[in-house]
Amino acid sequence: MAILSKDDAQQILKKVIGYSKADGIEANLNGSDAGNIRYARNSVSTSGEDSNVSLGVQSYFGKKSGTATINEFDDASLEKVVRRSEELAQLAPENPEFMEPLAQQTYQESKTYFDSTAKITPEYRAQAAANSINPAVAKDITAAGYLTDNRGFNAMMNSKGLFAYNRATSVDFTVTMRTNDGTGSGWVTRSFNDVSKLDTAEASKIAIDKALQSRNAKAIEPGKYTVILEPAAAGDLIGLMFFGMNARQADEGRSFMSKKGGGTKLGEKIVDERVNIYTDPWNEHVPASGWGNNGLARKKMDIIKNGVVTNLFYDRYWASQKNVEPVPFPGNRIMQGGNASLEDMIKDTKRGVLVTRFWYIRPVDPQTLLYTGLTRDGTFFIENGKIKHPIKNFRFNESPIIMLNNLETLGKQVRVGNGEGFGAPSLIPYLKVRDFTFTSLSDAV
Amino acid sequence: MKRRNFVQLAGMGITGSLLSFPSIGNAVSSEILLESPLLASQKKQLADVALNITKGLGATYTDVRIGRYLNQFISTRENKVQNIVNTESFGVGIRVIVKGAWGFAATNEVTADGVKKAAEKAVAIAKANSKFQKEPVMLAPAAGQGEVSWKTPIQKNAFEVPVSEKVDLLLRANGAALKNGASFASSNLFQVNEQKYFASSDGSYIDQDVHRIWPTFSVSVIDRASGKFKSREAMSAPMGMGYEYMIPKAEDKLTGPSGMVLYKNSYDIIEDAAIAARQGKEMIAAKSVEPGKYDLVLEPNHLGLTIHESIGHPLELDRILGYEANYAGTSFVTLEKLKSGNFNYGSKQVTIFADKTQPGSLGAVGYDDEGVKCKRWDLIKDGVLVNLEAIRDQVHMLGQTESHGCCYAQSWSEVQFQRMPNVSLAPGKETYSSAQMIKDVEKGIYIAGRGSYSIDQQRYNFQFGGTAFYEIKNGQITGILNDVAYQSNTQEFWNSCVKVCDESEYRMFGSFFDGKGQPSQVSAVSHGSSPARFNGVSVINTGRTI
């Protein structure tokens, strides 16, 4: 039941819309089959599967709307959920910001679904964990990892004739490898729509090597350093920047995108001119659904072009107030990279720090988009073009805006998963940045 | 903490995505929130079905949790209601030990047939897991409790208060903020009721009715000319209480610096919103902090988060053992440090206790989610580490025979595991007020409310901000400061604690969203303290120009 075909989803939604007695109705039908396996101390700790289909119905009378959800799909249940949403709408206070549903949109299909991932079995997950644990044991290392896979669909229909459907698969893998003497730790992340691209043994080897190389780290003074950020680290900070690019907050004067004296920085250069960030639902490495909230069609769109802000995100209400087209929050983000390999970037660095990942990133000042957090699981000192030795972890206080102004080199792009920031896959290059601000040392391994 | 997901939900307009609902429960009308749950006798019958089936299939232990989880979220902005969401989630989770291994299965089909199928699945999973189990699960004994019940001692069920009354209160709070100079004001009220039935093969049948409430707001002041904006969050705390928390009482108000009011077991949202707007305006014009070493006076609604991150988490036994290594991390605390009996976690002023029975706290229940009667125990006594946080299947690793009673699952559909109990700083024994504490400081900063917080994966290095910062010079408050954050190391910080105020100013901080595990589960927890002073803490200036 969990994965409905386009036809089956359409059939159920048509029935739902047909039961409506309200001024209008919008229905969302979503389902997923998810599986996971978790291991720690070189042994599987939990594993499970979860299947869920849910129908959400929103009815409205004028500017009063009500929402009800249900997970039963016989005709009586479908009618019941529509009636309940209508009752709730009648009771609701008027919402002056309510927007009527969209008319039919044109969507371009996106290849987000792969049979390989849809067919993952518990045996596959157990083997994937074993392929990660066994090489760890052989090197006197303790593995703790998590693999989660999902196949799901989203469908929606409204009384204005809009119908949208998309199905997608995903697999995300992370593992932390710790040396048994407690002095070294390495980590790796992988994210794909197509599981045939995932090799947990290959990924685990990288984390094991990092754990071994990061043993007995030395302390160096905090301060401003040239850093090479691996894509997982860079992606976290860039992803957080996206959450601050809401047009309404910028217009209201409470965003780093707001300008002194009023107005926003839309159309202004805010970072190095080599920075190009965009969204493209049809990118083969990070495909995303061709539609977003409320059925709004997504498109390929620049967000920062040659360092200039080209788009802020407008919900439908705010767009109507500002007489602009709505701009949906992107389903993926892509930062244009360069040709430099990690090795090239290290070779060209006289004195710097290589960062595997960041951890516990939290906002400090929304005015400047300042964030704090720490390095984790593999931080190394670079001197005269070579990795010299592992170093103790640092706490940073830095803004992605300052970071992207201090850009030195763009490296090759890699797909990264959710991380700490964005909640959707991204294609992010290795970044070399000068004057990155580390403010204190941490003894954590 | 998984605050981000929650904030996204809270900020969702009526036209927002429906995708978030199923994870919490089905959206329902507010009347359904008041419907009576199944009778305890009906739940016992269903639980017995599971207990009998699993026993017949070879289980050496079984527990059954029948849960009905109700939520109501109300969010407003200025003079508008943005959203009212009611959710209900009902189902049963069954956990078994077969051949020394855990198995768990859950279903929303709360019938004899549904329970039977889930029980059989839990046993099948345990059998499959037993093939890979290195050591059989060792469960600390827990006495059967018989048929018992427990209820949060509320005076007024928040779900029984008409929605219109609650909306009106929030809109009045927004209005008070706008009237006092705020540019924007949004407010929210979250109400939770967990109706939980627990039965186990140890002979426990426990019926519990747990209530929580959290009013909160954010007030923004914007100065267009300078381009500056400042936000001031509510000084409320989420509480294990009913709607009585929303009815202000004079005896629950404490005076803070410069007209600030701090709240104990009841909250005046309208008063606080007005103060917040005035404070926000002061912040726009306030000076930026000079970085350096300061003596900090930390009030409980701020200090609670510091306790949470730097004591509550590092003392979780499963973290110490490495079960959370790939996500939340491990801990600087080791079993060796505990066993040494002389690990100085803090100064002699620092006594930290865990307590799952404290009235008004978020973690208070009669029994935990594996049927262990809740209690209070010391974690740090006069500065020395004396115990950790552990549950039935791990406490034997401490050489102890009794679970601490801090096992929790966020829903019937997820398996229970070790979660942080309420962890609190004991008040000082001598009579000593925060006013006196401020008078005794030469160069310091008074910090109120939660702000930015970040700590490393072994809980050594942390950086915390706050909601409001006041400079102290020669025993006097001289005004508001901006751009303040303090950085320290856990052991160094707690050893710099020189004084804790007496119990007359003891209050609780709380969070609905302590996140842990993969897939992640949230848990609600409180941390009590009186104001405390920490000497010579490193303060940085977080101001930047972009």
Split at pLDDT 50, 70, 90, the class of A3 is confident
Cβ separation A58–B18 shorter than 8 A? yes
- Assign A88 a pLDDT band (cuts: 50, 70, 90): confident
Is there a single domain that holds both residue A165 and residue A238? Answer: no
| Together in a domain, A28 and A55 | yes
Q: What is the pLDDT of residues A100-157, one digit of tens each?
A: 999 999 999 999 999 999 999 988 999 999 999 999 999 999 999 999 999 999 999 9
Q: Do A168 and A222 belong together in one domain?
A: no
A98 to chain B, minimum CA–CA distance in Å?
Answer: 6
Q: Which residue has the higher pLDDT, A47 or B41?
A: B41
Cα gap A346→A352, rounded to integer Å:
9
For residue B380, what are the β-bridge partners? B352, B385
Q: Give how far B452 is from chain A: nearest CA, Å.
A: 5
Q: How many residues comprise chain A?
A: 445
Interface test with A, best of B74, B170, B288, B463 (most A CBs within 10 A): B463
Cβ distance A144 to B545 less than 8 Å, yes or no, reads no
| The total number of structural domains that make up chain A | 2
Nearest CA in chain A to B88: A69
Domain assignment present for residue B514? The answer is yes
Full domain range(s) for residue A87? 6-212
Q: Is B8 helix (H, G, I), strand (E, B) or coil?
A: helix
Do A324 and A348 reside in the same domain of the chain? yes
Specify if B3 maps to a domain: no
Place of tokens 């936000």: B231
Q: For residues B24-57, b (16+ Cβ closer than 10 Å) or e, as one string?
A: bbbbbbbeebeeebbebeebbebbebbbebbbeb
Do both A371 and A412 map to the same domain? yes
Of B202, B210, B212, B199, residue with least CA distance to B93: B199
For residue B305, give both structure tokens.
């988060």
Specify the range with the lowest mean pLDDT, choosing from A272-286, A417-431, B74-88, B89-103.
A417-431
* Å between B477 CA and nearest CA of chain A: 24
Same domain as A282, residue A245? yes
Residue of A nearest to B455 (CA): A360
Domain boundary pick from A186, A212, A238? A212
Asked whether residue B30 is assigned to any structural domain, the reply reads yes
Same domain, B249 and B351: no
- Residue A46: pLDDT band with limits 50, 70, 90: confident
Is residue A1 assigned to a domain? no
Given an 8 Å threshold on Cβ–Cβ distance, is B183 in contact with A253? yes
Compare all CA atoms of chain A with the CA of B487 and give the residue at the minimum distance: A440
| Contact present, A238 and A333 (Cβ < 8 Å) | yes
Nearest to A206 by CA among A232, A181, A182: A232
Contact partners, residue B530, CB within 8 Å, separation at least 6: B300, B425, B427, B428, B434, B500, B501, B502, B503, B504, B505, B506, B507
Global pTM exceeds 0.90: yes
Strand duo A141-158 + A163-179: pairing: antiparallel
**Do A229 and A176 fall within a single domain?**
no
Q: Cβ–Cβ of B82/A253 closer than 8 Å?
A: no
Query: Contact at 8 Å (CB) between B204 and B146?
Result: yes
Residues of A in contact with B336 (CB under 8 A): none
Last residue of one domain, picked from the residues A212, A233, A263: A212
How many CB atoms sit inside 10 A of residue A104's CB?
12
Do A142 and B322 make contact, defined as CB atoms within 8 angstroms? yes
Residue A232 and residue A204 share a domain? no
Domain count, chain B: 2
Which of B309, B509, B515, B317 has its CA nearest to residue B404? B317
CB B280 within 8 A of CB B182: yes
pLDDT for residue A422 = 57
For B368, the domain range is 288-541
pLDDT band at A421 (very low <50, low <70, confident <90, very high): low
Where among B237, B253, B285 does a domain terminate?
B285
Taking an 8 Å cut-off on Cβ atoms, the answer to whether A359 and B457 are in contact is yes
Residue A59 has pLDDT above 70, yes or no: yes
Peptide bond into B519 cis (omega under 30): yes
Structure tokens at B330: 């491990």
Are the CB atoms for B248 and B258 separated by under 8 Å?
no
- My answer on whether B103 and B48 are in the same domain is yes
Domain edge (last residue) among B285, B301, B316: B285
pLDDT at residue B198, rounded to an integer: 98
Q: What average pLDDT values come out for chain B (546 residues) when binned by 10 residues?
A: 36 31 61 80 97 98 96 93 86 95 91 95 90 87 97 97 95 98 98 97 98 98 95 98 98 94 98 98 97 98 98 98 95 98 98 98 98 98 98 96 97 95 98 98 97 96 97 98 98 98 97 92 97 98 95
Task: Please state, in angstroms and as integers, the Cα–Cα distance from residue A321 to each residue in A251, A314, B206, B422, following that order.
Answer: 11, 10, 55, 47
Task: Assign residue B312 a region (left: φ > 0; alpha: ψ between -120 and 50; beta: otherwise).
Answer: alpha
Distance (Å) from the alpha carbon of A201 to chain B's nearest alpha carbon: 17
- State the CB neighbour count (10 A cutoff) for residue B175: 17
Q: What CA dihedral angle connects B176, B179, B185 and B187, to 10 degrees? A: 10
Angstroms from A287 CA to nearest CA on chain B: 20
Residues B212 and B131 in one domain: yes
Distance from the Cα of B67 to chain A's closest Cα (Å) equals 18
A56·B108 Cβ contact <8 A: no
Q: Are residues A50 and A131 located together in one domain of the fold?
A: yes
Q: Are residues B192 and B295 in the same domain?
A: no
> In terms of Cα–Cα distance, which of B320, B114, B202 is closest to A182?
B320
Instruction: Please check whether residues B103 and B178 belong to one and the same domain.
Output: yes
Domain end residue (candidates: A192, A212, A232): A212
User: Is A255 part of any domain?
Assistant: yes
Pick the residue of B2, B7, B15, B110 with the most A CBs within 10 A to test the interface with A by mutation: B15
Per-residue pLDDT at A7:
97
Which chain A residues contact residue B454 at CB under 8 A?
A: 360-362, 372-374, 395
Out of A36, A65, A439, whose CB is closest to B519?
A: A36
A319 falls within a domain: yes
> B163 or A196: whose pLDDT is higher?
A196
Give yes or no: residues B294 and B406 share one domain: yes
Please indicate, yes or no, whether residues A255 and A374 belong to a single structural domain of this protein. yes
Q: What is the pLDDT of residue A1?
A: 55
CA distance B72 to B212: 11
Closest C-alpha to B488, from B543, B540, B532, B426? B540
In chain A, which residue's Cα lies nearest the Cα of B459?
A444
Which CATH number do you get for residue B212?
Answer: 3.30.2290.10
* B255 and B292 part of one domain: no
Give CA angle at B429 (B427, B431), nearest 5°.
100
Q: Among residues B243, B270, B285, which one ends one of the domains?
A: B285
* Residues facing B217 on adjacent strands: B187
Residues in chain B with CB shorter than 8 Å from the CB of A87 are: 29
For residue range B412-454, list pLDDT tens digits in order.
999 999 999 999 999 999 999 999 999 999 999 999 999 999 9
Q: Phi/psi zone of residue A216: left (φ > 0), alpha (ψ -120 to 50 degrees), beta?
A: left
Which pLDDT score is estimated for B242?
98
Q: pLDDT tens digit string along A326-377?
A: 999 999 999 999 999 999 999 999 999 999 999 999 999 999 999 999 999 9
B224–A399 C-beta distance less than 8 A: no
CATH number at residue A16: 3.30.2290.10
| Bridge partners, residue A44, by sequence | A39
| Integer Cα distance of B530 and B523 in angstroms | 24
DSSP A223-235: EEEEEEE-HHHHH
pLDDT score recorded for residue B16: 32
If asked whether residues A366 and A241 sit together in one domain, one would say yes
DSSP strands (E only) in B99-179: 101-107, 146-151
How far, in Å, CA of A89 to CA of A94, rounded?
Answer: 9
Question: Nearest CA to CA, how far is B511 from chain A (Å)?
Answer: 16
Share of chain A above pLDDT 70, in %: 99
Whether B125 and B29 map to the same domain: the answer is: yes
| Alpha-carbon span B470 to B481, nearest angstrom | 6
Residue A80 located in a structural domain:
yes
Residues B238 and B338 in one domain: no
Does A54 sit within 8 Å of B21, measured CB to CB?
yes
Residue B1 placed within a domain: no
CA terminus-to-terminus distance, chain B: 29
- Report yes or no on B2 lying in a domain: no
Name the packing angle between helices A75-91 and A6-18 (round to 10°).
50
Same domain, residue pair B265 and B292? no
Instruction: Give the one of A47, A87, A144 whose C-beta lies nearest to B322's C-beta.
Output: A144
Q: Are residues B278 and B292 in the same domain?
A: no
Give the span between the Cα atoms of B186 and B78, in whole angstroms: 6
Q: Are residues A305 and A396 in the same domain?
A: yes
Where are the alpha helices (H) located in B322-433, listed in sequence order? 335-340
Size of interface A-B (CB pairs under 8 A): 222
One-letter identity of residue B134? K
The reply to whether B339 and B208 lie within a common domain is no
> Which chain B residues have a beta carbon less than 8 Å from that of A356?
none
Alpha-carbon span A406 to A234, nearest angstrom? 13
Residue B546 lies in a domain: no
Question: Alpha helices, DSSP H only, in B370-489?
Answer: 434-439
Query: Going by C-beta distance under 8 Å and a sequence separation of 6 or more, which residues neighbour residue B4?
Result: none
Distance, CA of B362 to CA of A280 (rounded, Å)? 44
Residue of chain A whose Cα is closest to the Cα of B31: A88
Burial of A111 (0-12, 13-18, 19+ CB in 10 A): exposed
Question: What does the CA dihedral B10, B13, B15, B17 come to, rounded to 10 degrees?
Answer: -30
